[in-house]
Chains A and B, each alone.
Chain A
Amino acid sequence: MIKLKNVTKTYKMGEEIIYALKNINLNIKEGEFVSIMGPSGSGKSTMLNIIGCLDKPTEGEVYIDNIKTNDLDDDGLTKIRRDKIGFVFQQFNLIPILTALENVELPLIFKYRNSMSEEERRKRALKCLKMAELEEKFANHKPNQLSGGQQQRVAIARALANNPPIILADEPTGALDSKTGEKIMQLLKKLNEEGKTVVVVTHDINVARFGDRIVYLKDGEIEREEKLGGD
Chain B
Amino acid sequence: MKIDDTITFAFKNIKQKKTQSLLTIVGIVIGVLAMVSLISLGYGVQNYIHEEMMKMGSNKITILPMKQFGVPPSHLFTKKDVKVVERVKGVDAIMYGWFGSCEIEYNGEKKLVSYFYATPSKLREVYKDSGYDIEKGRWLEDNDKYACVIGYGTAHNLFDREIKVGDVVKIKDKKFRVVGILKEVGNQQDDNSIILNIDIGEKLFGNKDKYNIIVVTVKEGEDIDKVAEDIKEALKKSLGDEDFSVLTAEQLAERISSILGVITIFVVGVAAISLLVGAIGISNTMHMSILERRRDIGILKALGAETTDILAIFVIESGFLGLFGGIIGLVLGIVMAKGVEILAHKMGYLMVNAWISWELIVGILIFSFLVGVISGYFPARSGAKLNPIETLRGE
Contact = CB atoms under 8 A, between A and B. Distances in A.
B305 interface: yes
How would you classify the secondary structure of chain B's contact residues: helix, strand, loop or mixed?
A: helix
B305 A49 contact: no
Given A109-B1, A109-B5, A114-B2, A95 B296 contact: yes
A81 B309 CA distance: 15
A158 interface: yes
Contacts of B305: 78, 106, 110
Interface string A133-163: 0000000000000000000000000100010
Residue among A54, A83, A113 with the most chain B CB within 10 A? A54
24 contacts: A49-B389, A54-B388, A54-B389, A55-B389, A74-B307, A75-B307, A81-B302, A81-B304, A82-B304, A83-B304, A89-B392, A93-B302, A95-B296, A95-B300, A96-B296, A97-B12, A97-B13, A106-B303, A106-B305, A107-B304, A110-B304, A114-B2, A158-B303, A162-B304
**A111, A114, A162 pick with most chain B CB within 10 angstroms:** A114
A52 interface: yes
Interface residues of B, number: 25
A157 B240 CA distance: 96
A113 B296 CA distance: 19
A91 interface: yes
Interface string A50-66: 00101100000000000
Interface string A81-106: 11100010101011111100000001
Contacts of B16: 96-97
Contacts of B309: 110
Contacts of B332: none
Kindly name the residue among A55, A74, A109 whose own CB sees the greatest number of chain B CB atoms within 10 A: A109
A167 B232 CA distance: 91
A155 to B, nearest CB: 10
Nearest to A99: B12
B1 A91 contact: no
A162 B298 CA distance: 18
A106 B305 CA distance: 9
Nearest to B8: A102
A107 B303 contact: yes
Q: What are the nearest 7 A-B pairs in CB distance? A: A82-B304, A110-B304, A97-B12, A93-B299, A107-B303, A97-B16, A110-B305
A83 B303 CA distance: 9
Given A97-B13, A97-B16, A87 B1 contact: no
A87 B303 contact: yes
A113 B302 contact: no
Nearest to A162: B304
Given A49-B389, A106-B300, A93 B306 contact: no
B2 A113 contact: yes
A79 interface: yes
Nearest to B298: A93
Q: Which of under 10, 10 to 19, 20 to 34, or 35 or more describes the interface residues of A?
A: 20 to 34
Prevailing SS type, chain A contact patch: helix
Interface of A: 49, 52, 54-55, 74-75, 78-79, 81-83, 87, 89, 91, 93-98, 106-107, 109-111, 113-114, 158, 162
A114 B6 CA distance: 12
B287 interface: no
Given A95-B296, A97-B16, A113-B1, A75 B306 contact: yes
Contacts of A75: 306-307
Given A74-B307, A89-B392, A52 B13 contact: no
B124 to A, nearest CB: 72
Nearest to B306: A78
Nearest to B304: A82
B304 A79 contact: yes
Interface string B1-37: 1100100010011011000000000000000000000
A87 B302 contact: yes
A195 to B, nearest CB: 21
A93 B389 contact: no
B220 interface: no
A75 B301 CA distance: 10
Nearest to A46: B389
Given A107-B304, A110-B304, A93 B2 contact: no
Nearest to B13: A97
A110 B303 CA distance: 8
A131 B241 CA distance: 98
Contacts of A114: 2
B173 interface: no
Given A74-B307, A81-B301, A95-B299, 12 more contacts: A54-B302, A75-B306, A78-B301, A78-B306, A82-B303, A89-B392, A93-B298, A97-B12, A110-B300, A111-B304, A113-B2, A162-B304
A98 B11 CA distance: 11
B2 A109 contact: yes
Given A55-B389, A110-B309, A93 B295 contact: yes
